[in-house]
Amino acid sequence: MSSYKQISVEETKEMISSDIYLLDIRDKSSYSSSHISGAIHVSNESIDEFVANADKDKKTIIYCYKGISSRDAAQYFFDIGFKDVFSMQGVMKCGLILMSSLKEIYRTLYST
């Protein structure tokens, strides 16, 4: 029996230009402070509305903080009929590390 698939940050970047759902399942305040461009925040409160209006044939990539909760969510979406579901591995953890590194590089290059 098929299920959802794991996807890396790099693979996701290649797919973002296509017509996909990119779902952020972190808490609302984390989503509000930072999220991947084009991501839709889906919570326990909004999931029913999203599912009711979604095209279940469209690729759906789900991310969280570390890629753990997104696996459960991806399985749920697959189980309710979404055809092409992915769980992104470690996206926000990687993103925060990258942002931290970029800030340090910026400080080093542009400090007076």
- b/e sequence 13-46, b meaning 16+ C-beta within 10 Å: eeeeeeebbbbbbbeeeebeeebbeebebbeeee
Spell out the domain ranges in the chain: 5-110
CB–CB of 24/42 below 8 Å? yes
| Active-site annotation holder among 22, 54, 64, 85 | 64
Per-residue pLDDT of the chain (112 residues; tens, 9 = 90+): 569 999 988 788 888 878 999 999 999 998 998 888 888 999 999 999 999 999 999 999 999 988 889 999 999 999 999 999 999 986 655 554 444 444 555 555 555 4
CATH number for the domain running over 5-110: 3.40.250.10
Query: Does 64 qualify as catalytic in the annotation?
Result: yes
pTM of the model: 0.79
